[in-house]
Amino acid sequence: MFRTEHEFTLPLGYQDQHGTLHRDGVMRLATAADEILPLQDPRVVNNPAYLLIILLSRVVTKLGTVPQITPKTIEGLFAADLDHLQEFYNDVNSGGRPEQLKVECPQCRHNHVVDVVRNLDPGESSATPWTDSARR
């Protein structure tokens, strides 16, 4: 069966205004609109790193007992949790196909296939990488 929602657990957790800690959540697969529409948001236009905040607020559908996930909710995450969600987003939306690279060992000349860990800029997703013009 095709899964469109994926459960996650934050390493630290989101602490709401009442002091309640929320760690378990659900993220749905991103749509093309999730990737494109935030680019028109004035907050993203003024600060491209804010794309990650808008994007996650669209695809995180549940976080503990928080009634509604908004950009303010995502802004309230600890940096470690934001990083965790960005990585999780990229994993979930990659279609299960890690980027791989064929390499040759310089000593034994044996060929290997290795998984590539792509370092993304803050606010960049693997589906909508920034262009030089978008970074300005």
CA distance 15 to 45: 28
Look at residue 103 and tell me if it is in a domain: yes
pLDDT value at position 129? 43
Residue 123 — very low, low, confident or very high, per pLDDT cuts 50/70/90?
Answer: very low
Say how many domains are in the chain: 1
Look at residue 134 and tell me if it is in a domain: no
More confident residue, 80 or 116: 80
pLDDT at 108 over 80: yes
Say if CB 63 and CB 14 are below 8 A apart: yes
Look at residue 79 and tell me if it is in a domain: yes
Q: In what order do the strands lie in the sheet with 60-63?
A: 5-15, 21-28, 60-63
**Residue whose C-alpha is closest to residue 78's, from 22, 39, 124, 38:** 22
Average pLDDT, the chain: 84
Look at residue 120 and tell me if it is in a domain: yes
More confident residue, 103 or 86: 86
Look at residue 136 and tell me if it is in a domain: no
Look at residue 67 and tell me if it is in a domain: yes
Look at residue 24 and tell me if it is in a domain: yes
Kindly state the percentage of the chain with pLDDT values over 90.
66
Domain containing 68: what range?
5-129
Look at residue 53 and tell me if it is in a domain: yes
